[in-house]
Chain A
């Protein structure tokens, strides 16, 4: 019984925010159809390109890049941290299954990017070690770390919610995002161990046969 006032309060919030949530869904639907540019593209980034952000990131090879460096081929992007015991190995596993489900020709035209929540522990060296342990192909997989503020911004762009707990672990939502060659979100797979087939189909459509 005690919970009822709370429930009604929360339903008020949901009711108030419903029109906006609805608008948000529409936006996402639009995004899903705003894709389809293939291959290299030059000039300014599009209005919905994530590559517009100015933040600087460090790869596991210690190289400094902007996200715009990923432009030119579709990217499968997820946020993770190397010390993650439960969800992240499953996310990376899903991404590797997508990689395996593509033909060799398609695989060569797709990139996979992991961005760490945990810049403190995930140094370039730690990320290099992670690449080795997880057997992530050089040239195809990009592993990045950045400043906490920039991580927060990227998470906001990807719609990833996260929070560090007292033990230093990160609670986070599990989202795998497909960016087209211009860096626009074309698909998001939410939740763990989902059926990867639809995402694979989207990738195949982006890069051709």
Chain B
């Protein structure tokens, strides 16, 4: 065993340990949020990336924010602001509904949610 051998082995060890960290963070959560306006799908948002989006609702722009795999409506124009008061949503069974704007945000996910069954 030469010195270079040991360096190589240690380098591969460090590499394999180092590769685990970014790869585990990048596990595809496969969850997407679907935004529909007037029953028409207008946007698909990847929940693994933080960001801000806006769609055109019936009463004006609806501003959407994604953070840490959760989604919420930050600002919209409606009489009672129910959907922006709802806050962050991450459960596929909980949609954000903004009825005056006819805007619905639902999360689609491959993962099982906590509820066993949902009757719709």
- Whether both chains belong to one complex is answered with no
